[in-house]
Amino acid sequence: MQLALKIDVATLRGTREGVPALVDILQRHAASATFFFTLGPDQAGRALRRVFPAAASAVLHHPSIAPRAGMTANLMSRIVPAQDIGRRARAVLRSVADAGFETGVHAYDLVDWHAHAALADADWTAAQLDRAIERYTDVFGEPPRAFAAAGWHTNRHALRLMQRLGFDYASDGRGYAPHLPVWDAELIRCPQFPTTLPTLDEIAAVDGTPADALAGELLARTAEGGYDHVFTLRAELEGLALAATFEQLVIGWKAQGYALVALRTMVQSVEPMALPRCDVGTGTVRGRSGTVFNQGEEFLGDVELPRAA
């Protein structure tokens, strides 16, 4: 069984402090992961509710971890100029790739993507992706091959661009299995590897699980085995306040028999163009406000097509 670790990085502090902490945990336990980086301005402090929605509040403000969550630092970023992550944390970004971890694009301006991507037109979407690709190429010396939409928000223009711009795969949404997305009967040939497990803050929001019991709750959900999974964690949570919780998960998943891998490893274990074609659109996730990009049923899965004579 494979469990791919997808690490989203949204802020300068998450890049500078959370990412090295996660790299350390992964290396100590011989685990891998894919890091998806925000590469432009850090405006998260100006949009805390959007970047870290209500589901995260129960975790971030829990008395046992609030002092470690850096909320004061995040609040301060509301009143200081946005700092450029790709320029100010260039050495950290490159060190992740140098350590052998897969890297990809999360966003150029994460707050802008959160606010506008779902309803954006083709020109806006292309401009955002072009800036992200240009910055990624400048930092890493080669164009990106993997993309994970910030906040699980995307649109059909972005999906079309994934295949035109040469991305091998994307992990843009929530779902239950790898698939080729079909948006309003339009087949997109860039495969999607969706997040299949709830995030820790969603578990806290739905079940009221205390911070020190989150790992056990999630491990109980994967104990049955038999399925591959994708788990999304955030450098700003699991890399900082919930680092010990994440390490418990790593140990627990290995004990359950999961190979903790980068998404690239999962992609290489299948034939992408032979994946099922599934309708995609927007849907809701328990514990998370608003809608996200979501995997639906298999396209024409229940329709018997006429056979050729």
Q: Is 292:152 a contact under the CB 8 Å cutoff?
A: yes
What is the pLDDT confidence band of residue 60, given thresholds at 50, 70 and 90? low
pLDDT at 198 (0 to 100): 97
What is the residue extent of each domain of the chain?
A: 2-298
Q: What is the pLDDT of residue 183?
A: 95
Backbone angles phi, psi at 102, to 5 degrees: -70, 140
- Say if residue 41's pLDDT is above 60: yes
Q: Which two tokens stand for residue 67?
A: 């002092």
Total residue length of the chain: 309
Rg (CA), the chain: 19
Q: Distance between the two ends of the chain, CA-based, in angstroms?
A: 42
Residues 6+ away with beta carbon under 8 Å from 127: none
* Mean pLDDT for all residues in the chain: 89
pLDDT, residue 190, reads: 97
Q: Which among 195, 213, 242, 172 has a CA at the least distance from the CA of 18?
A: 242
Q: Range with the lowest mean pLDDT among 9-18, 72-81, 98-107?
A: 72-81
What pLDDT, on a 0 to 100 scale, did the predictor assign at position 76?
Answer: 42
Instruction: For the chain, give the percent of residues with pLDDT over 70.
Output: 85
Mean pLDDT, residues 48-53 taken together: 53
The pLDDT of residue 207 is 80
b/e 200-222 (16+ beta carbons within 10 angstroms → b): bbbbbbbeebebeebbebbbeeb
As a whole number, mean pLDDT of residues 106-117 equals 95
Beta bridge partners of 261: 4
Q: What is the mean pLDDT of residues 13-36?
A: 98
pLDDT of 263 over the 50 cut: yes
Q: Which residue has the tokens 């009143």?
A: 79
- Residue pair 250/32 in contact (Cβ under 8 Å)? The answer is no
What integer is the mean pLDDT of 4-18?
97
Q: Would you say residue 64 has pLDDT above 90?
A: no
- Across the range 12-37, mean pLDDT stands at 98
> Given pLDDT bands bounded at 50, 70 and 90, which one contains residue 46?
low
The DSSP H or E segment spanning 195 is: none
Q: What is the pLDDT of residues 125-166, one digit of tens each?
A: 999 999 999 999 999 999 999 999 999 999 999 999 998 999
Count of Cβ atoms closer than 10 Å to residue 168 Cβ: 18
Q: What are the start-end ranges of the H helices in 52-199?
A: 54-60, 66-69, 71-76, 85-88, 90-98, 110-116, 122-140, 156-164
Residue 63 has pLDDT above 50, yes or no: no
* Residues 235-259, mean pLDDT to the nearest whole number: 97
We find that the CATH architecture of domain 2-298 is Alpha-Beta Barrel (3.20)
Question: What per-residue confidence (pLDDT) applies to 55?
Answer: 46
DSSP assigned state of 240: I
Question: What is d(CA 234, CA 236) in angstroms, rounded to the nearest whole number?
Answer: 5
